[in-house]
A and B are shown apart, each in its own frame.
Chain A
Amino acid sequence: MTGYILKRLVSAIPVLLGISVIVFLIMALIPGDPATAILGSYATPENVEKLNRDLGLDQGLVARYFIWLGNMLQGDFGRSFALNRPVIDEVLDRFGATLILAGTSFVLCSILGIAAGVVSAARQYGFADKAITFVVLLGISIPSFFLGMMMILIFAVKLRWFPVSGMWPIYGDRNFLVLLDHLAMPALALAVVATGVVARLARSAMLEVLRQDFIRTARAKGVRERRVIWRHALRAAMVSIIPVLGIQAGFVLSGAVYIEMVFQWPGVGRMLVDAILKRDILLVQGGVVFIAACYVMFNILVDVAQALLDPRIKT
């Protein structure tokens, strides 16, 4: 297993390089003189000259890429001129909040999605199946930002169950329960679409598996139906569900942007949107590379989970 993990880690290197190339090329699309574009209203002659030196903006594209890559490898993602602090500091400060939000959503969408899919498949064409199918359709059709706003209206303003927005109260304690109280609505709003996608896939994967011969064997042994469904069938269906969970992880990580805007959540997504509106290019660049890299690493975890689950995968 250790060997397999190492192998996957090594194979992530070209992907990470590819990501850096893509982000670099996208940023090279910026029209006009890069230094002026990056600095925006901070484009004093000294700043322009310093930036040209740091980023090699006066050199060719290839050279510029390697300077940028070299800097990143040393942990230097550049400097945000709007915030006047290193990009990496700002990203790391914000990343925790996003990770809490996206992580919770990921757990929610995995558990709820799989459970809904399994129940739906086990009761195919029954009432539960139809109800779940309808809710899932609604879930994957509703924009998460609109859902978030409606949740604020209903659960925060009308019913007063949860705070309207934010991660922490302005005054008062910062403990786990307070966090949970603030987290509940945004995490759920973010999880809804992903839950729908997972539920759909889980349902069809379960239907596929339930027709297999080994399910009949389990039933012929006299294994209880609940165990047939939740152990035998689900275990085999997980093999096709897990890759989709990996994709959903990327979805909640990046879809957090909307939710962070709606709920004033102090995460990377909101930082990115602010940075784009302020044309704080280096902050965007650093934030995007950082999140994409995290996602690549998470996918290694997904592959490892898959290998642990399915002994037939050569490790």
Chain B
Amino acid sequence: MMAFFKLLARNRLALLGLIVIGIVVLLAVITPLLPLADPDVTDTPNRFKPPFSSGAILGTDHLGRDLLSRLMWGTRLSLAMGFAAAVIAAALGSAIGIIAGYFGGRTDNLIMRGVDMLMAFPYILLALAIVAALGPGLMNALIAVAAVNVPFFARNIRGITVGIAHKEFVDAARLAGMRDRQIIVSEVLPNVAPVIVIAMSTTVGWMILETAGLSFLGLGSQPPQADLGSMLGEARAALITNPHTSVVPGAMILIIVMGINLLGDGIRDALDPRLKSGALSRPMAATQVDRKDPVPAATNSLLDIAALRTEFRVRGRVYKAVGGVDLHVEKGECLGIIGESGSGKSATALSVMGLVASPPGVITHGAVHFDGADLIGAPYKILRSLRGRRVAYIFQDPLATLHPLYRVGDQLIEAIQAHEQVSKPAARARAIDLLKSVRIPNAENRIDSFPYEMSGGMRQRVGIAMALANGPDVIIADEPTTALDVTVQAQILSVLSDLRRDRGLAIIFITHDFGVVGQLCDRVAVMYAGRIVEEGPTDAVLSAPQHPYTSRLIDCVPTLGGGQRKLAAIPGRPPMVDRLPEGCAFADRCDKARDACRAGDIALVATDAGRKTRCLFPENMERARA
């Protein structure tokens, strides 16, 4: 609760709303005590006095009544009507909602049918109908506005109650022999009360508007008594000649409703857990770059990642997802990156083309040279023209990564047309060829399918076909087979393997499965806590792992076919990348850890031909040397 108020106070606009409403309510409460003129005494000779005239700060209306006094009394009445309507609607609606939600079954069905019917009405129309039946008047307008808002409360509170009615404590109370009425009052009501209050805070503004509206139409408060709406309604006749009589009450309604809306938004935001975690921010077109250190020089490699650091900045915390990674891949080569989830392997891969979600991702250090040019911080135009054309991605779970509402053919055609000016029929023909090249049977028909109409394996083939659309030099495959079963996995791997051979593609293959790496990759890099801990030719690493982490990984996964389950067999968890320990990040899980391991940073050193290890006491060194 305290945290809630703190959040609310941090939201300056909500605070402003609270202050405005506080002042207005206070003024309304003390209005009878203020030295104001009688709001209803007419003084026709002094009608339409302009604002700031002596004796009438806001002027007078068409009957010479003091506008300030009328404004204060009108505000009082409008606020009272709005709050009363909100309380009535909340009480009735909540009662109906709780009954429907608590008893469920037939009762629920019947009540909710009725509520749905009421909601099928445009609600102002419903309010008009009620006023028509009861006759114009203040109380009747109040009843009408409350009545049309009952369904809103009923529906919301019912939803909450349904959730509570099946909780253990309610069952326990029932077993203890409590009667339904007791349970509702003592168990259910306290739990739904906060929701009722929030729903009221977000609707009371509407209700003030609606009662004012009915009064404006002449269907609410009747003269001489006036609320803000009827003041505005009466002033309308003199709108052009004496606009101040309209502006005064109208501006007041605006101020009140705006204050309530600001406050209501603040309350809603303070209660929305997604806002707290920052999960509601959207990623930008390219990852943000904040790089102050000198840029590493280019090399001759096709793709060269040098000293790359990528962090996630979430609410004052910094998660160093990638903590200085060096990797390179050559034409026609397949490089595997292996590691547990959270090891930074995906963040590394996504950093290449600036696809790390940002916010919260920021690239802070290093370079990614492709064909000699640095991509980090490259203008969006250049990044875009390279994306998909020269460096393409294949992602995990193609159901989520393909657009659900476009046919796969259109998505393929779009990939082609993003980089080449081809006519639609020509692009379509090429799309069919692409689907054939990834061995999708019956490609001519399948091209018109939606992703949800395909199997997981077929969808991933579409994903691969899309990556191939522009004949890229490098394909970065981010766990492309993880979501698939073992046979389909094998098929996808063989498709990739053939493509590499036929087209001389360079592939960066990210996985947590050594079986997959062994089948496809020439070289492999093992990542742990954002850094590479071992790198070398696949066969050598697999047969004689040097880093203790690598050998544990290999022990866990003897054959092809993946499973995160097997990786978890290593006791302990990887360290959180916002609190990395001094020295070796693996020390807490390593059997061979000694004091030296925790003393300071450990470098990635060359051990054998083409091999590097980040460990003070590497394994299998004797065998490798022999």
Using a CB–CB cutoff of 8 Å, the interface residues on chain A facing chain B are 15, 18-19, 21-23, 26-31, 121-122, 124-125, 137-138, 140-143, 145-146, 149-150, 152-153, 157, 164, 204, 206-208, 210-225, 228, 232, 235-236, 239, 250-251, 253-255, 257-258, 261-262, 272-273, 275-277, 279, 281, 284-285, 288, 291-292, 295-296, 299, 309-312
Which of B136, B205, B404 sits near A141, CB closer than 8 Å? B205
Given A257-B124, A276-B128, A281-B132, the answer on whether A143 and B209 have CB atoms closer than 8 Å is yes
Distance A275 CA – B132 CA, assembled complex (angstroms): 8
Inter-chain contact A23/B129, CB cutoff 8 Å: yes
Interface class of chain B by DSSP: helix
> Does B262 lie at the interface of the complex (its beta carbon under 8 Å from any beta carbon of A)?
yes
Q: How far is the CA of A296 from the CA of B121 in the complex (A)?
A: 8
CB atoms of B254 and A219 under 8 A apart: no
B51-59, B317-325, B380-388: which lies at the interface? B380-388
Q: Are B282 and A210 in contact (CB under 8 A)?
A: yes
B239 in contact (CB, < 8 A): yes
Smallest CB separation, B43 vs chain A (Å): 25
Question: Taking A142-B254, A145-B216 as contacts, is the C-beta distance between A210 and B236 under 8 angstroms?
Answer: no
Q: On chain B, which size bracket covers the interface?
A: 35 or more
User: Which residue of B has the minimal Cβ distance to A30?
Assistant: B133
* Residues of A close to B415: CB separation below 8 A: 221-223
Task: Say yes or no: A216 contacts B401, CB within 8 Å.
Answer: yes
State in angstroms the CA–CA spacing of A232 and B279 once bound together.
Answer: 20
Task: Tell me whether A295 and B280 are in contact in the complex, defined as CB-CB below 8 angstroms, given that A213-B401, A311-B450 are known contacts.
Answer: no
Q: How far is the CB of A267 from chain B (nearest CB, A)?
A: 13
Q: What are 20 pairs between A and B in contact, CB < 8 Å?
A: A29-B133, A29-B134, A31-B134, A143-B232, A143-B253, A146-B253, A164-B240, A204-B280, A211-B282, A216-B357, A217-B463, A239-B405, A255-B122, A277-B218, A288-B125, A288-B132, A292-B121, A295-B121, A295-B122, A312-B452
In the assembled complex, how far is the CB of residue A231 from the closest CB belonging to chain B, in whole angstroms?
9
User: Is the Cβ of B243 less than 8 Å from the Cβ of A295?
Assistant: no
Q: How far in angstroms is the closest Cβ of chain A from B310?
A: 15
Q: Is B257 an interface residue (CB 8 A)?
A: yes
Cβ of A149 and Cβ of B392 under 8 Å apart?
Answer: no
B280 CB to closest chain A CB (Å) equals 6
Q: Which residues of B have CB within 8 Å of A124?
A: 281-282
Known contacts A19-B117, A214-B401, A236-B405, then 15 further A-B pairs from the complex at CB < 8 Å, ordered by chain A residue: A18-B120, A143-B213, A146-B246, A149-B232, A206-B282, A213-B397, A216-B395, A218-B414, A220-B353, A220-B392, A225-B384, A235-B406, A251-B124, A288-B132, A292-B120
Mark each residue of chain B from 121 to 150: 1 if its CB lies under 8 Å from any CB of chain A, else 0. 111111011111111100000000000000
Query: B residues bordering A, Cβ < 8 Å?
Result: 113-114, 116-118, 120-126, 128-136, 205, 209, 212-213, 216-219, 232, 236, 239-240, 243, 246-247, 250, 253-254, 257-258, 261-262, 265, 279-283, 285, 353, 355, 357, 380, 384-389, 392-393, 395, 397, 400-406, 414-415, 418-419, 450, 452, 463, 466, 469-470
- Contact between chains at A292 and B355 (CB < 8 Å): no
For residue A210, which residues in chain B have a CB less than 8 angstroms away from its CB? 282-283
- In Å, the complex CA distance between A140 and B222 comes to 27
In the complex, the chain A residue whose C-beta lies closest to that of B240 is A157
Asked whether A214 lies within 8 Å of B122 as measured between CB atoms, the reply is no
Alpha-carbon gap, A27 to B135, bound state (A): 11
Residues on A with beta carbons closer than 8 Å to the beta carbon of B463: 217
Q: Which of A19, A221, A288 has the most CB of B within 10 A?
A: A221
Q: Could you tell me if B403 and A236 are in contact, using CB atoms closer than 8 angstroms?
A: yes
B364 CB to nearest chain A CB (Å): 21
Contact B403 A214 (CB under 8 A): yes
What residues of chain A lie closer than 8 Å to B265, measured between beta carbons?
137
A124 to B470, CA, bound (A): 32
Given contacts A142-B254, A219-B355, A222-B385, contact A272 B213 (CB under 8 A): no
